[in-house]
Structure 1
């Protein structure tokens, strides 16, 4: 139901004529074959067009397939009076003005997973190369030497391998590590226990993973949560002699910390394909790359012939899905909704984003089920845009691909999440109420919100009645209610120059459990959280970052 409503006002072929597609960059013929074989499509491959020539002819076409050689900017989009879809045969979309395309109702798709197998295989290639000293042994023999003892390697069999991020690449890496008879541990709080079970992976938290592994490889997107994820603190937990790999994104593995760990021997071997600076120019990166026990490649994870074919096939399938009015798995922007529905739902989109950000940061462990509840007058309306927008906001923080209202349901299915929508016309104390419930093995978290004069407010946490306006930086504590607790909280924060903007307290009874929510002017660092926990004997404490607020 949700997916069908996304395409209610999209007619890919209103006149019944063939869909005209122009290909402006080199794309493999195997990928284009899918389009050539479809009688609904007229395909023109026109390479090397000047900007003027492209602008002059683009108005004839319904779709354009590009790689990096064509800039789809405002001028081109203004000239493309019939354009419905831009297909980028690759991962990046830097050459497409996505926002302007969205404003003109043009869908933009890319191919973020055409290189999935390529990246997974490259990970194993680097791991084996490091373990068996292949680059150094190759250079030695080609240099006229015959030395064997110095290149004594280590086997994968029997090792404990940790995979951080069990998305499409990480999941494939885990499967291949098991084929080498490794015990595989996984760390990914945003996949279901069922998916981990299907992969044969035991889920643990990051600290346990660091303590337990002989081999550790990262396969997450680079974002606020993952930047510097493997740094000095995590390295200090690891076994001496651990093997580290990064074939995901530069910056996830703290490069200065890796350099120090290689130099000290804490890390015995490492392999890196991606860099925080590409090409690497800093002295730290140059020193890191020069390390004898580090195997390096210049971001080759996607560089296979098959991957180039796959990205072409993937964008061709997206165009065919558009023609078939089927969900687009890799759309990076939004098609238009029914204007009448959007006018009614638009005020709630920010609330949905805030609830998702808030609830997700309260979760401990993996997420299995997401339930969106709509109560009151809003329940009489079609709430599917709110469900899918809330899901997109939720998954956008954790998935290994861009998530939006077009592909949120598909991404949830891939992650093994159960998504439900519940409606009740009884709103209780509020004319309209939206409730988000997140469930996993670690329990359930519930947060409720509404709009006051168009502004999001959170009015319920778990079974506590609250009332506060969400702000960017917040702090949540639960503790046994007793005199002087608020003063202790204020004292600790004040000692660290963290200003409290407001405070909201919820409790069921006197001297029972209390829940306090504070808005603060700056983030609360982990050491301050620990100091607060000890001072209040908090049963739960969490710093929250709500960019949507």
Structure 2
């Protein structure tokens, strides 16, 4: 059997080439090829693996030509330059190295904080221009200041540790940070409003999701302490840059240091040109050590997959063997959707998640299923989490993950239940896979229901009173929303009830607010699967 072949189409450390060779993989090192998509498309069909950084764009058209491709390895965390659905459809594993850049990115945030506090870039430019403006650059001390960290995962936790070494007070907002983990890190866990009100310096370390986009909006910036300084070395789009420029102009925000921008490459930006803004061109992961780390990691992961079939840090497939895949696949989809259901309804800090398996599913590889459930649970807030990284991400945040198996007890051959415990409540949701292979939801908070998962849904909990269904359907009809399926459940006549409704297309803004005004409605949430 011929040795597997890997193409490296971006500037990866030469040490990666050596790793591939040592593990019996042929390597074609063409570091400039990724910039030429036509040449890449012309030769990609010859390779089993493709190792990239950010320059290579792996589009569906490239993948159409990649007849032999089995794995794409991204040296780094962001895989937005890979068409993951197209890769998944072709059975191509997409791997990344989620933790290789953490220290470097955290150090860059600290460096930006110092540059901002002491106006180092402007003072340097002034001094080298032959001026001696000693009185112009009046900085502030870091010691004793309150640092507010938005997102206290792997990178945020390193920033917290370094900040404590600088004798700063550290407060953190992260819905997935448990009180126990906060205690271990030595940070004070707070809600976002309290962080905005108290922090002298705010640094962001969260992925960009629909929940975190513009988390520092004009309204949020208005609630910050006067004289606050803001650092973003995470993702462009977390801060409303136009609103931040206005807050800088008014003097409410004293300064900002950005390494990432809403549009990149950032050849122009609302923040550019302001005297109290420091900008760098997405250098968070740009150190020799970080690039070496991620290059070695991706070479090891890809080699292990191509020579042994082992899967690590895949963003589109769990770590399971080829023999187990067909039987597990529908249950992986079920577990992920049950987790996603719970995650989309969770609004307060997560403490623990318990996944219970009953019947035949209890004899399967439940570790992969639990990973899928936790990935679904965390993804509404942490877009980059996947079925492989989910357990370690949960552990970082101090979320306890429990797994239980039981004998069959009830109407279903197999039953999976995801129970989420937050700081305020406990919520369970159960599902099964029928003979057609489609995951179904059969129980929500103890109320029996029978519904399929669909791309766009509305979940409503309400009092079981006459007239609700008519008012609900009328509200959707008046908004031009078409109902596809309607699943109902209740505990007893006149008691608590739920509706799980599949609709065609997006739910227009304002519709949920109108549903909330229907008498007896307790909660109405949009769901996407």
Instruction: Give TM class, smaller chain.
Output: 0.7 to 0.9
TM-superposition CA deviations, 1:19-52 (whole Å, max 9, x none) = 776656543345556566x5x4466564479898
User: Mapping of 1:88-237 within 5 angstroms?
Assistant: 88-93=74-79, 107-237=93-223
1:489 positional shift: 6.5
Once residues 448 and 44 of structure 2 are traced to their aligned partners in structure 1, the CA distance between those partners, rounded to angstroms, is 60
Residue in 2 aligned with 1:473?
Answer: 457
Q: How does 1:309-388 map to 2 (within 5 A)?
A: 309-319=292-302, 322=305, 328-334=311-317, 341-379=324-362, 381-388=364-371
1:460 lines up with 2:446 in the alignment: no
- 1:293 and 2:276 aligned: yes
Deviations 1:329-373 (A, max 9, x none): 433343795566433333444433321211012224332332222
Is residue 243 of structure 2 the alignment partner of residue 264 of structure 1?
no
Aligned equivalents of 1:511, 1:181: Cα separation in 2: 58
The Cα shift of 1:231 comes to 0.6
1:504-548 CA-to-partner distances (Å, cap 9, x unmatched) read: 6655456655555555665375x776776677586x5352322x2
Unpaired runs of 5+ residues, structure 2, are none
Alpha-carbon deviations, 1:279-334, whole Å to 9, x = none?
3356xx2x421222222122221222222222222223424655896965433343
Q: 1:149 to 1:279 in 2, by over 3 A?
A: same
- Corresponding residue for 1:27? 12
Higher relative contact order (CA 8 A, sep 6+): 1
The partner residue of 1:437 within 419, 430, 445 is: 419
Q: Is the 8 A contact 1:433 1:449 kept in 2?
A: yes
Change (3 A) 1:432 1:328: closer
The 8 Å contact of residues 11 and 32 in structure 2, kept in 1 or not, is answered as: no
8 Å CA contact 2:340–2:379 kept in 1: the answer is: no
d(CA) in 1 for partners of 2:204, 2:461: 32
- What residue in structure 2 maps to residue 9 of structure 1? none
Distance 1:53 1:391, change over 3 A: closer
Task: Report the CA distance between 1:400 and its aligned residue.
Answer: 6.5
- The normalised TM-score by structure 1 is 0.79
What does residue range 492-531 of structure 1 map to in structure 2 within 5 Å? 506-509=489-492, 512-515=495-498, 522-523=506-507, 525=509
Secondary structure of the equivalent of 1:149?
Answer: coil
Instruction: Quote how far apart the aligned CAs of 1:62 are.
Output: 6.5
CA shift at 1:205, angstroms?
2.2
Tell me how far 1:268 sits from its aligned partner: 1.8
TM superposition shift of 1:139: 2.2
Superposition deviation, residue 274 in structure 1: 0.9
**Separation in structure 2 between the aligned mates of residue 65 and residue 141 of structure 1, nearest angstrom:** 44
Matches of 1:535 and 1:19, distance apart in 2 = 61
Which shows bigger deviation, 483-492 or 201-210? Answer: 483-492
Q: Which runs of 5+ in 1 are unaligned?
A: 1-14
> Per the alignment, do residues 501 and 241 of structure 1 end up closer, same or farther by CA in structure 2, a change over 3 Å counting?
farther
Give the TM-score of the pair, scaled to structure 2: 0.82
Compared with structure 1, are the counterparts of its residues 168 and 378 closer, same or farther at alpha carbon in structure 2 (3 Å cutoff)?
closer
1-structure distance, mates of 2:368, 2:28: 37
- Cα distance in 1 for residues equivalent to 2:49 and 2:213: 36
Residue by residue over 1:385-438, the C-alpha shift from the partner in whole angstroms, topping out at 9 and shown as x without a partner, is: 53333333334444464513x444444444444333333333423444321111
Residue 377 of structure 2 aligns with which residue? 394
More off after superposition, 289-298 vs 372-381: 372-381
- For residues 428-481 of structure 1, the C-alpha deviation after alignment (integer angstroms, 9 at most, x for no partner) is 2344432111124333221112346555443322223334444413143356x6
For residue 75 of structure 1, report the CA deviation from its aligned partner: 7.2
Question: Could you say if the C-alpha distance between residues 247 and 23 of structure 1 is closer, same or farther in structure 2, counting changes exceeding 3 Å?
Answer: closer
Identify if the C-alpha distance between structure 1 residues 69 and 255 changes in structure 2 by more than 3 Å, giving closer, same or farther: closer
Q: Distance in 2 between matches of 1:271 and 1:518?
A: 45
- Structure 1 residues 110 and 513, CA, compared in 2 at 3 Å: closer, same or farther? closer
Task: Name which of structure 1's ranges 315-324 and 350-359 shifts more when overlaid on structure 2.
Answer: 315-324
Write the distance in 1 (CA, Å) between the matches of 2:44 and 2:467. Answer: 74
Counterpart-to-counterpart distance in 1, 2:290 and 2:205: 18
* Cα distance in structure 1, aligned partners of 2:523 and 2:251: 36
Moved more, 486-495 or 254-263: 486-495
Partner of 1:11: none
Matched residue of 1:176: which SS? helix
CA-CA distance at 1:208 after TM superposition: 2.5
Question: Are the structure 2 counterparts of residues 341 and 35 from structure 1 closer, same or farther at C-alpha, using a change threshold of 3 Å?
Answer: closer
The answer as to 2:526 corresponding to 1:544 is yes
Alpha-carbon shift at residue 219 of structure 1 (Å): 1.0
SS of residue in 2 equivalent to 1:292 = coil
How far apart, in 2, do the equivalents of 1:219 and 1:500 lie? Answer: 39
* Distance verdict in 2 for CA 1:239–1:53, change over 3 Å: closer
Contact 1:163 1:217 survives alignment (8 Å): yes
